[in-house]
Structure 1
């Protein structure tokens, strides 16, 4: 259970060896980028410029529905590189800095650091707050 503030809790499973189980609360979406280590890793720390391999699942705050997950593609890790300026949403570039290998991180991303007013691919609506659970597999190839 992760307390994200304002009395709002986001239940997130802690088993980094399996697909995350998440319950997005029925509450107003928080403002700003929120980052919480559900499980703090013990390996290398992700820093700007690194190549960070992750497993992830993404959910819409508005309805709690999963819209994407690396676990759905044979659990093949996805690499974010170079961290800080990778071709991913800015919330990932900002929210993964400081994560450690072996850890599970909850990242709540406001629309302005996600897909904004345009949404994405028909599965993420306009001005949607995103909830990601990210497991760090390796940093620069090191586990």
Structure 2
């Protein structure tokens, strides 16, 4: 990324939570495109759709995160490929593509999640 980005702010969603993955590019990058199965270096923040409460953010830790896409929730595996380095993308992910239905054992099970992701690198 050429400029230093700051932690994103989330707009309050309107209406019921979507039942399918929603992908919205906030900033289209101009670098290499993330491929399925790539290892990505990202900054991200995530909030619950219903409450707007933040549950995780690499920004709060002060450093980007690096993950192989295959190790992440399905919504990221589907929603990050095609994104270009330097871009910022919002993913709204229903429970089936996140942590499963309510009672599935994760504290975010049954929740629709919104992530804003900055793609720093993809290999």
TM-score (norm 2): 0.89
- Which aligned runs of 4 or more in structure 1 are off by greater than 4 angstroms? none
Partners of 2:16 and 2:38 lie apart in 1 by 34
**Paired residues, number:** 119
RMSD of aligned residue pairs (Cα, Å): 1.6
* Higher relative contact order structure (alpha carbons within 8 Å, sequence separation ≥ 6): 2
- Which one of the candidate residues 109, 113, 120 is aligned to 1:130? 113
CA drift at 1:114: 0.5
Check whether the contact 1:90–1:114 (CA below 8 A) recurs between aligned residues.
yes
The answer for the alignment partner of 2:8 in structure 1 is: 20
Q: Give the aligned partner of residue 95 of structure 1.
A: 79
1:80 is displaced (CA, Å) by 2.4
Task: Tell me, in whole angstroms, the C-alpha distance in 2 between the residues paired with 1:132 and 1:119.
Answer: 21
Structure 1 Cα separation of the partners of residues 116 and 88 of structure 2: 7
1:120 matched to 2:106? The reply is yes
Q: What secondary structure does 1:72 align onto?
A: helix
Q: 2:89 — aligned with what? A: 105
TM-score when scaled to structure 1?
A: 0.77
User: For the Cα contact (< 8 Å) 2:41–2:64, is it kept in 1?
Assistant: yes
- 5+ long unaligned stretches in structure 1: 1-14
* 1:1-143 equivalences in 2 (<5 Å): 17-74=5-62, 76-81=63-68, 83=69, 86-117=70-101, 118=104, 120-121=106-107, 124=108, 126-140=109-123
Deviation at 1:77, TM superposition (A): 1.3
